[in-house]
Chains A and B, each alone.
Chain A
Amino acid sequence: MTKIDEYIPIVGESVIDDLKLIAEKLKGKLIQHINSTSVGGGVAEILNRMVPLLRELGVDTRWDLIKGGEQFFEVTKKFHNALHGRQAEINKTDFDIFLETANRNIAELDTSADIVFVHDPQPITLVNKRKENKWLWRCHIDISEPNQKVWSFLREFVIKYDAAVFSAPGFSQKLPIRQFLISPSIDPLSDKNKELPQETIEAVLRKYEIPKDKPIVTQISRFDRLKDPLGVIEAYLQVKKYNDCRLVLAGGGAADDPEGVKVYEEVKERAMVDKDIHILLLKQNDLEINALQRASSVIVQKSLREGFGLTVTEALWKAKPVVATNTGGIPLQIKHKYSGLLCHSVDGAAFAIKQFLNSPEYAKRLGENGREHVRNNFLLTRHLKDYILLFLSLYHNEDAIYL
């Protein structure tokens, strides 16, 4: 398990000193995280790394899970899609199923910690059993344009919390409670982000038969229309007229997602036009993703819609020049021409990729700026700092708090 001091070479001793300093101020408080799963998904990934570090810092931390059956999780998946603004048919039975499971959890789960930190909509109703303790709701989803039926239903619970936390300013809603902005983060010591020896990178390229003879342009994303893989191919084809390069589109499998399979097939077919396009359907393998990102000359994230866009964070951390759409949390990470290039269209993406390929010095500078921007703002240590401050803020209402 990673120890907090292992982050010192990356962020500096004083940053870790500050974490220890503020963690001390939480002495005597028990913090309880509650979500719906201990494995899989971004929330579990971050809690798995964060909870041991909080404990090491002396913050008394528990992590509990709610229980739910298949039907419950089918409903919460529908909620998730609806909150993202996607079409979803939700009827009274769905709400009933949700509330029935919720009530069982309310009866069974001990929520007596000083601060109860509820993640995402699945456990949201637990707040109905709040006593004098503090309650926080963490929304990890882009709810900038939510389905109103689902949002109105959830909102009745949200307003019973002391505060809500969102990942980007545009995700916040009109609420009578305090709202905080806390971006997600990446762990620089995880398999997906740690430094890799050149041999590992080359072994992965060999495995997927990607020659190193030309610059590699890569998008790492699941095969989903919102990630616009076909748009990436069109942009690449425009670039290819002027710059000889390869395109790698790599992402996780989607066997249980019929739409995903369809998108993958369409992408495969479109890719036939050019032998330098590599479509890789990867099993969850963080080291390989890391290697592919590190082998790339330019990384693209041409999403039509994006939550925070942690693939962009990962690419920037590897000091790669990134071309990404101006959507969701991406503009928080990329300031156009400072730490990457933002685009709005296929043509814009193609133009930006060409700029990077033709100006390696410029690409290098923006990549390095991007890495520093991530170091200062989007690493796990900053996330830990924000969470500890968030807990402390529950006991103060001023804008300047002397501890």
Chain B
Amino acid sequence: MADLIKAKEPFRFYARLSLSELTGLRAANLGQLLGLIREVPGASIYHHTHRFLQQHQYLSPEPPNDFAYWVSDILGEDELGERLASIDTTQFLNIHSLREKIIQTIESYLKENPAASLRFAREGDEFHFIKSVSFILPTKYVVYDLEEFKEVIEKITIDSIYFHIFEARLRLEKKTNDFSNWIENSLGNKRLADKIAQMDPYTRTLEDLRKTLIQIIEKKLLV
């Protein structure tokens, strides 16, 4: 095993916990959904495109967002559901551009299929807009090298992994994730940083993401 490189700056793990706030806004058809997607706070778009990952972390990674699930399962618009589900969330650096993409996707579908606007959800099945209130706070875990880093990854909460990968890259508009950022800038290992940054976090469950991260680091530690 190669000597472990000590970091210039240690990595501190943060915990990220969230509380769901109801906006009181609900949609019963595609037109209403579209109108509300335009006006709800960014924290609501974030909630509906990321919540599923956290709540269903052990299940299959699909469906990736609440809009896709509702459009397919409640309105029966499978094709639009598929288009919404396949939006590549990793491409978007901020909620604003992700929101625009969702709007465009629904608008163009409605243009091609005007009859779709006539479908209504049954009473009780409306889409309820919720937003995430995030609480971010430092944990006791501070690491200086890859071995320590791996040990913490093995035991830290899923919420923390979620914060360092998802929150960092999208909501806080960072181009990479916190792990890659630290590995590149403080450990000087760009290759490993890139490898981690290349993982598509949106098509995996969070537990799977944890396992993959550990495997990549273990492989590096053995070299």
Which residues on A are within 8 Å of B, measured CB to CB? 12-15, 17-18, 21-22, 25, 144, 166, 169-170, 172-175, 178-182, 327, 335-336, 338-339, 369, 372-373, 376-377, 385-386, 389-390, 392-393, 398-403
Contacts and interface: CB of A to CB of B under 8 A. Distances in A.
Nearest to A371: B58
B135 A389 contact: yes
Interface string B129-153: 0111111110110000000000000
Contacts of B131: 399
Interface string B55-67: 1111110000000
Given A14-B160, A338-B59, A400-B171, A181 B17 contact: no
B21 A179 contact: yes
Contacts of A386: 19
Nearest to B132: A399
Interface string B93-110: 000000000000000000
Contact of A17 (B22, B58, B139): B139
Contacts of B135: 22, 389, 392, 401, 403
The A interface, classified by DSSP as helix, strand, loop or mixed, is mixed
Nearest to A20: B140
B154 to A, nearest CB: 10
B41 interface: yes
Contact of B59 (A173, A339, A389, A403): A339
Contact of A402 (B19, B22, B60, B137): B137
A400 B136 contact: yes
B214 interface: no
A376 B57 contact: yes
B114 interface: no
Contacts of B136: 400-403
B139 A21 contact: yes
A373 B55 contact: yes
Given A21-B15, A393-B133, A14 B22 contact: no
A169 B127 CA distance: 9
Given A17-B139, A18-B159, A401-B135, A172 B22 contact: yes
For the complex of A and B, 4 pairs with smallest distance between CB atoms: A169-B128, A399-B43, A372-B58, A181-B20
A184 B120 CA distance: 30
Nearest to A389: B19
A216 B156 CA distance: 40
Contacts of B137: 21-22, 25, 402-403
7 contacts: A13-B155, A14-B157, A144-B124, A389-B135, A399-B41, A400-B43, A401-B136
B73 interface: yes
Contacts of A385: 17
Nearest to A370: B59
Nearest to A373: B56
A369 B58 contact: yes
Given A22-B135, A399-B131, A373 B24 contact: no
